[in-house]
Amino acid sequence: MSSETKKKWPLWEVFIRSRQGLSHKHAGSLHAADAEMALENARDVYTRRNEGESLWVVEAVHIVASSPGDKSTYFDPANDKVYRHPTFYKLPDEVKHM
């Protein structure tokens, strides 16, 4: 068992497109020896009730994530730019729709 535990199956993240027209959404994760097995297991575990029409599996180590510790400073620059939102611009009442 010890030689086996050294070679653990990698972790894969599973993304499902629930129907055409929507983007893939993260559903969960699983372990599999290779991509083919990851796809098959994802189908068997995450789409038993017609949850999807398309699957992506990505080895978890390949996902690059922003650091949650820096959340406030990292996303700060967006905070003071209210002019990026349409509601920033006041229109005359005569303009019904824009």
Partner 1 sequence: MNSTLFDAYVADEKKIEPKDWMPDAYRKTLVRQISQHAHSEVVGMLPEANWISRAPSLKRKAILMAKVQDEAGHGLYLYSAAETLGVERDDLYLDLLEGKAKYSSIFNYPTQNWADIGAIGWLVDGAAIMNQVPLCKCSYGPYARAMVRVCKEESFHQRQGFQIMLVMTEGSAEQKAMAQDAMNRWWWPALMMFGPPDGDSPNSAQSMKWNIKRFSNDELRQKFVDMTVPQAELIGLTVPDADLKWNEQTGHYDFGEIDWSEFKRVIKGGGPCNVERLAACNKAWNDGAWVRQAATAYAEKKSSNATR
User: Which one, 65 or 98, has the nearer CB to partner 1?
Assistant: 65
User: Under the criterion CB under 8 A, does residue 75 sit at the interface with partner 1?
Assistant: no
Nearest distance from residue 1's CB to partner 1, in Å? 7
Q: Kindly state the tokens that stand for 1.
A: 């068992």
User: Under the criterion CB under 8 A, does residue 34 sit at the interface with partner 1?
Assistant: yes
Helices and strands, counts by H and E, the chain: 3, 3
Other C-beta atoms closer than 10 Å to the C-beta of 83 total 8
Q: How far apart, in whole angstroms, are the C-alpha atoms of residue 9 and residue 46?
A: 19
Which residues bind to partner 1, rule: CB under 8 A? Answer: 1, 4-5, 7-9, 11, 28-31, 33-34, 37, 44-46, 48-49, 65, 67-69
